Structure 1
Amino acid sequence: MTRTLCTLGFLFFLSLDFVSARHVPRSCHPHSSRSNSNSGTHPSSSVIAVGSAPPAPAPSTNGSSSCFPSAGFIMPSTVPSSTDGWWCSPNTEYAFLGFSYEVTACATIVSPEIRQSLTKLNSDFADIKNTFGSRYVRLYGACDRDGFYDDIVSAAWATGLGVHALIWFGFDGGNQWMARRDSLVSSLTSNPKAKFVTRGVQFGSEPLFDNVLPHSELASQVTSLKSKLLGVGIPVTVSELAYGYQERGGAQDVLNAIDFINIHMLPFFSALATFGAAAWPLVETDMNWFIEHGNGKKMYFDENGWPAVTSPGVQPNSILAQASVANEEGYFSMLDSHCEDLKLGPQGGIGWFAHIYSDEQEPGYGIYDDAGKKKFPFKPRTSC
């Protein structure tokens, strides 16, 4: 399957004291060979609380955890009548949570060995859960095949993974996102298992940075979507760069509208970037901006990683920036080493995803290479 990566743009601003800098990575949006239109990020039974989270449920007497999607949770044989008591408390969701998982390989024209059929989803999700101790998968990109999200729900239920669903915008100013929104809402409100595996819906991936909607309209759309999902208790966020907000004057209306905060953390593209292992100051700068402006909401690094290779669409903005497998590994090891710092974040700490599951999905960023082999030992901490 042919994929091209988007061009990465960059802007950064030095503060008046010439000490701090803001970097603006342009994340690499996946493109499907099947259509140009695809070019172009919890609830319990209610949304995530903005203030202090409730205590995590205690383990059950049979030795398994009593909340989904914890490691020891055993999926029930039948669908429960309510999500009351179903989800683990947000204050347990820090450190490594899972992977971004790009879905444009769902098309029927894709070669069978990588096509994201239900069988393929079951296999990948089981690996994500069992090999790495993941609790979640964060969807990335778009799949417009009828019934695809129902396949996601089936695979997530079968493997015990939670899902951060996504409404994908294109780059051509079209309105295909509306059909994607309506299709996802239909699945979330009609599939009886959907609300038990869908932790939240991302309304766009970098919609502010891409300027797909004015921030006031984006906030309004988020609010509208929240009302449509109120009956199933699924909250809504926007998956975005710090700079995506900053270049829109902070877009505080969007930050106020969303239920939790999904953050793109791609410090390789900073003009101050050097090595993956040395990226903590860059991560901390954006993290602290969201803490300052996020009103205590739960935070996740979802599009989060360091490339192992460069390409025409993945180029550094610092002559010192190093793209290599060693630096990809170093970046995630660095996050592991700051587990205690991330744990100090709002509502029990900041959880992070690895971007992305496999180089088949986005070259250079995968934990697996395109031959299905791990590029380096990856056993991130899930608690500290």
Structure 2
Amino acid sequence: MSRSVRLPLALAFIVAIVICGLWAWLGRPVAMPPSPLAAGETLPCVSYAPFRDGQSPFEKELMIPEAQIDEDFAQLAKITSCVRTYAVEKGLDKAPAIARKHGLTMLLGIWLGPDVDRNRVELDTGVRLAQENPDVVKAVVVGNEVLLRGEMSATDLGSTLRWVKSQVGAVPVTYADVWEFWERNKGLTQNVDFVTIHILPYWEDLPVSAAEAGPHVDEIRQKMAEAFPGKEILIGETGWPSAGRMREEALPSPSNQARVMHDVVALAKKRGYRVNVIEAFDQPWKRRSEGTVGGHWGLIDASTRTPKFEWGRPVEDFPGWKMHIAVGLVVVAAAFGAAWRAGRDRADGVTPAEWGAVALAALFGGATLGAAISALPLESLGFVGWLRNGLLLAVAAAAMVVMPAVIGAGRGLAPFAAALDGRLRARSDASTIASALVLVLGVVAVGTVAFELVFDPRYKDFPVFSLTGVVAALLAPLLVRRAEREGAGLGETVAAWVMLVGGIYVPLNEGLSNWQAAWFGALCLVLAFTLWRVQAVRRKG
């Protein structure tokens, strides 16, 4: 076997081993603390919304079938003794009777908002259900975060609470809101039997990491107990998302969700206070208003209808890690194969440095493309979301073949004009045009994400798995050869500045502890460098 064959085979083997080792390490189960629940013990209470994929509370004519609620409650009875609801419309007026059937009690929610007529229907129905089902309805939660949303004044809310208390007899009445809004409206305590607070460490103004979330919840609960002496404090919502974008140190993941749940439940049992977990099932409809993270707070997966973790058992953050390895090996074979095929007619052959550049592209692309495929259904919502993220994935896959072929052919990275200028395109070969097209698409892909993260970042994901292979593949040929001389112009200069600004602003805006933002910022800076090298050829030429 000649040296020209041994070198690429050796590099491909090394890259493949690195990818296998990386995902075997990342795919290992993450250990959990001992279960805070004794054998046969269930959670004190869990938030329940009945909506499945394709259903939403914003559908005016939607009516949830009783059979659907019955199926959900049958499953929830295995993990909890209580469910908290948020409204009585859309079929939820049947919930108390179904809860009784499955041995569940309820914190019955009455939804309040800006629509006075709708509020009256909710109030009348909620009061009736509490009166008719005192064995099931253990408390009435009148309003959920209506002060936070600014849809009702504290005065009107207080009047509403007093009216409900006068109607439901011995059934306790409460109001639920983020803990800061209880601090600002202490006068409401005279109208409730106990105070219901929401503590969501991920959504705090200063987000808290998963490791600190349990103690944070405990600390805030104690703070509120001191602020409202003589009133029981119920933690009406606390939890952690299993997927979505980071907020500073707060990383959504399956293991972090399980870790937070273990810590919160253990501390609640130790301190002797009540806690309600948000939420029972993932709610896909929330993704439209809160991004990927909004649809992944459930203890039970929306699509499989199975629990995401078992108490006290290790949890996998990347259950598809074996598929990631398989995809990575395909990428390595495709990248080296494309370079070999493109370079087989070269008199001097592909140089060792060029094989090294191919290996770089194959490593980064192979290590991330499988994860990008796994992230596709999590981060894509609706036709536009699937189209956008599917195109990002397609560009990444194309880059893994096109750019190694460019390197193997002994060509440099071509500027935008080779693909966009008809006259230049007419006298360019296929390799040059493909190289320029990947550069254009890569800049559009990264630039679009950067624009979102600069101007509307709160609910936007960091699609770093899809973008990493593209950026690495575009950089690779510049490590061994200058860019093509003809055609570079103002477009590359402007794009380079855009990437530079995005690469600096996004990590600083998100916080340096957000490694997803730092990763994306690094991709922007690498692409800015790549574009600078491309347009620098024009100046030197």
Q: TM-score per shorter chain, which class?
A: 0.5 to 0.7
1:368 pairs with 2:300: yes
- TM alignment of 1:229-268, pairs within 5 A: 229-230=168-169, 233-246=170-183, 250-268=184-202
Deviation at 1:280, TM superposition (A): 3.0
Q: Which residue of 1 aligns with 2:124?
A: 182
TM-score (norm 2): 0.44
CA offsets 1:52-72 (integer angstroms, 9 cap, x no match): xxxxxxxxxxxxxxxxxxx99
Match of 2:106 among 163, 167, 171: 163
Residue 301 of structure 1 aligns to a residue whose secondary structure is: strand
Deviation at 1:328, TM superposition (A): 0.8
1:144 pairs with 2:101: no
1:196 pairs with 2:135: yes
CA offsets 1:24-47 (integer angstroms, 9 cap, x no match): xxxxxxxxxxxxxxxxxxxxxxxx
| Max Rg structure | 2
CA offsets 1:2-43 (integer angstroms, 9 cap, x no match): xxxxxxxxxxxxxxxxxxxxxxxxxxxxxxxxxxxxxxxxxx
Deviation at 1:289, TM superposition (A): 2.7
Determine the C-alpha separation between the residues in 2 that align with 1:173 and 1:109. 14
Q: Which residue of 1 aligns with 2:274?
A: 351
- TM alignment of 1:1-384, pairs within 5 A: 96-104=43-51, 116-129=64-77, 131-132=78-79, 134-140=80-86, 142-145=87-90, 148-149=92-93, 151-170=94-113, 172=114, 174-189=116-131, 191=132, 194-230=133-169, 233-246=170-183, 250-310=184-244, 318-343=247-272, 350-360=273-283, 363-370=295-302, 371-378=304-311
Determine the C-alpha separation between the residues in 1 that align with 2:172 and 2:57. 31
TM-score (norm 1): 0.61
Q: What letter matches 2:266 in structure 1?
A: S
Report the RMSD for the aligned CA atoms in angstroms: 3.1
Q: Which residue of 2 aligns with 1:46?
A: none
Unaligned runs of 5+ in 2: 1-38, 287-294, 314-541
CA offsets 1:76-104 (integer angstroms, 9 cap, x no match): xxxxxxxxxxxxxxxxxx99312100145
Cα distance, 1:274–1:209 mapped onto 2, change above 3 Å: closer
Determine the C-alpha separation between the residues in 2 that align with 1:107 and 1:372. 18
Cα distance, 1:212–1:164 mapped onto 2, change above 3 Å: same
CA offsets 1:158-201 (integer angstroms, 9 cap, x no match): 1111100111123x555421221112223333x3xx11100111
Higher RCO (CA-CA < 8 Å; seq separation 6+)? 1
Determine the C-alpha separation between the residues in 2 that align with 1:164 and 1:379. 27
**Contact 2:85–2:107 (8 Å) recurs in 1:** yes
More helix by share: 2
Deviation at 1:331, TM superposition (A): 0.6
Determine the C-alpha separation between the residues in 1 that align with 2:178 and 2:142. 14
More strand by share: 1
Unaligned runs of 5+ in 1: 1-70, 73-93, 344-349
Percent identity (aligned): 22
Deviation at 1:245, TM superposition (A): 2.1
Determine the C-alpha separation between the residues in 2 that align with 1:356 and 1:263. 15
Residue 217 of structure 1 aligns to a residue whose secondary structure is: helix
**Contact 2:50–2:69 (8 Å) recurs in 1:** no
Determine the C-alpha separation between the residues in 2 that align with 1:200 and 1:274. 30
Cα distance, 1:325–1:319 mapped onto 2, change above 3 Å: same
**Contact 1:99–1:353 (8 Å) recurs in 2:** yes
Deviation at 1:354, TM superposition (A): 1.9
Q: What letter matches 1:210 in structure 2?
A: R
Determine the C-alpha separation between the residues in 2 that align with 1:109 and 1:302. 23
Q: What letter matches 1:242 in structure 2?
A: W
Determine the C-alpha separation between the residues in 1 that align with 2:176 and 2:296. 21
Cα distance, 1:331–1:178 mapped onto 2, change above 3 Å: same
Q: What letter matches 2:159 in structure 1?
A: S
Q: What letter matches 1:153 in structure 2?
A: P
Determine the C-alpha separation between the residues in 2 that align with 1:95 and 1:296. 28
Cα distance, 1:219–1:290 mapped onto 2, change above 3 Å: same
Determine the C-alpha separation between the residues in 1 that align with 2:207 and 2:126. 38
